[in-house]
Structures are given as structure tokens and as C-alpha cells.
Amino acid sequence: MAEIIASENCIWVGEQHSINQSYPVYLYKDGDRDYTIARAELGATNCIGALEELMANGVKKVILFGSCGVLDKSIPAHQVIVPTSAIRDEGTSYHYAPSADEIEINPQSIKKLIRVFDQANVDYMTAKTWTTDGFFRETPNKTKHRLEMGCQVVDMECSAVAAWAQYRHTETYHFFYTADHVDIEDKKWRPRRLERTAAHPVYSFFELALYLAKNL
């Protein structure tokens, strides 16, 4: 975020407050259009709380991006992922959608997102994600089970975001870039930091999100 914030196009406009700390909100100017930029905090509860406040302050359309873990080791680091459905292994989504093990991402949102990615020749793949709030309990047995259910990646917010978007009838577009790997064969966590090179800095994913904002 530091490079984005330092840009002359980025203006501080306020803060989102929590009991622990405050999170800045920025206005990003691009030509004759302005975009709100806010940090999506880690975990479903924090993320949805921030989205509720942003919506209350006038945000109409949401684009979220962030990293996800890989369950399928054939997926390289910094692969762009479009989630199509999510296993609901967190608590927040159940306050926004009827109880179920899985939730689909809005098909129309996926269709629009993919159209723009195709237009920009973005190398992406679609995948089912496992959304969990217990990342220290991504055990080999649980991971194996999620793989058997068709999950290829793991995250901490997606199922809650999908439920929130449905409940609030808000246009929401969500994509990931892949990071670490939960290796069930060797029972190890592999950060894959060497694979996550400067060739694909986070700033480039912000630029991709900005391109989406201009074309959705």
C-alpha cells in the first residue's frame, strides 16, 4: 500500500475506527473519476465490518483483492484466481445468508469479471475456495477433505463477502493472487516467498483492480 498512498493521485479522506486502531480511507483520482481505497482487514468479521461502514458512507460497488493460500500445489505463486464458490468454514456469513456448507459467488459478477480479464488478456483461473477463520487448524486431514470437495485455494473472507453481497444487493467483485502452500504430503507450510518475486508486486494487482473499476 505504501507506493499507492505515496502517489500524488491518492488523497486521505478519513478513517474507519475500531477499538484497537484506526484504518485510513483514501480517494484515488484517475482522470475524471474518483475511487475509494480502503484496506480489507484480515478475517471475515473485520472485512465485513469495514464493508458495512463503507456502504453506509456511500460506496455502491466493491472490488476486493488479496492473497490466498494454495491447496493444489500445481498452482504457481501469484496466479490470479476468480473464486466461483466457497466452503463456509467461518461464522460471519451465517448472519447474512441461510445456513449451508457452501455458497456460490454471484454468477453475473463472475461473468462480468471474467469478461474484463479476457479483454485485458489476464492470466487467471477459476476455483472453489475454502474460507476458514482457523488458519492454525488447516490440518492435513482437513486440507485433504477440502481437496476432495473440490477446493483448490484457501482464504479467510470470501464466503462472508459473498453472503454480505447477496444480503446487501451490492455489486461485488472478488479476486485473489496465490501465495503460500499447505503441503499435506510433507505436512508442512510452504511460504513460497522466493516464488513471489518482484516481477509481480502487489501494486500490479492494485492496477488490475483499478482496470476493473474502469471497465465494469
Task: Name all domains of the chain by residue range, CATH numbers in brackets.
Answer: 60-215 (3.40.50.1580)
Which has more confidence, 1 or 126? 126
Q: Is the pLDDT of residue 36 over 90?
A: yes
Band of residue 83 on the pLDDT scale cut at 50, 70, 90: very high
- Residue 20's pLDDT is what? 79
- CA-nearest of 105, 119, 118 to 172 is 105
The mean of the pLDDT values for the chain is 92
Out of 15-24, 54-63, 117-126, 197-206, least confident range: 197-206
Nine-digit cell string for 65: 483483492
Out of 113-122, 126-135, 184-193, 194-203, least confident range: 194-203
Q: Is the pLDDT of residue 193 over 80?
A: no
Band of residue 128 on the pLDDT scale cut at 50, 70, 90: very high
Q: What's the whole-model pTM score?
A: 0.92
Averaged over 82-103, what is the pLDDT?
Answer: 99
Band of residue 190 on the pLDDT scale cut at 50, 70, 90: confident
Band of residue 203 on the pLDDT scale cut at 50, 70, 90: low
Q: Is the pLDDT of residue 47 over 70?
A: yes
Averaged over 174-182, what is the pLDDT?
Answer: 93
